[in-house]
Amino acid sequence: MKEKKQPQLRFRHRDEEKWQEVRAQQHGDRRVSVWEKWLEFTPECLCLYAKWDPGMIVHKHGHNSHHVIYVISGSMHCGDVLCTEGMHITLEKGAALGPLEAGPEGVELFEVMMGDPRSWPADPEGFEALLASRGAKKLPNPPIELPDWIKDTRSE
């Protein structure tokens, strides 16, 4: 008979975690990126602290899980909605949000995804047009260190 795993209590401090550069773009002579520190990364839950460089643009997309975003500081547009410090965003599994664009000071976020955190594109053509209108160019996805149990699907 298989033993039932006991619930655990875990503590992680943001300052002790490694930055992962997960997306990058060229905006004129500037490289801009999305940076994340993964505080919890299990098949059940991904909790992360994120910093987006000023002007960073992320395509309209959804996730294979329920997703919650909280704006800690700075600002970003989510579609036509300006999200400032204190904004809470709930994205139900199967819904899409975006495009997302960091404000002039960038944005800091706390995010939780309950289930498979991988995303899917919702408007690739619209994203390419938005990048072109901003004079921005998508760069190859930077390498990231994922847990062994999950496949990197960022380029699919």
Write down the pLDDT at residue 156.
Answer: 52
| Amino acid identity at 75 | S
Q: How confident is the model over 95-152, as pLDDT tens digits?
A: 999 999 999 999 999 999 999 999 999 999 999 999 999 999 999 999 999 999 999 9
The structural domains of the chain, ordered by start, are 26-134 (2.60.120.10)
What is the band of 4 on the pLDDT scale with cuts at 50, 70, 90? confident
Integer Cα distance of 86 and 72 in angstroms? 6
Write down the pLDDT at residue 1.
Answer: 62
Write down the pLDDT at residue 3.
Answer: 77
Look up residue 110 and give its two tokens: 């706390």
| Amino acid identity at 106 | G
Look up residue 91 and give its two tokens: 């994205």
How far is C-alpha 114 from the chain's CA centre? 14
Share of the chain above pLDDT 90, in %: 92
Q: How confident is the model over 36-89, as pLDDT tens digits?
A: 999 999 999 999 999 999 999 999 999 999 999 999 999 999 999 999 999 999
**Contact predicate 83/89, CB 8 Å:** yes
Write down the pLDDT at residue 134.
Answer: 94
- DSSP, res 96: E
Write down the pLDDT at residue 154.
Answer: 83
Q: How confident is the model over 99-114, as pLDDT tens digits?
A: 999 999 999 999 999 9
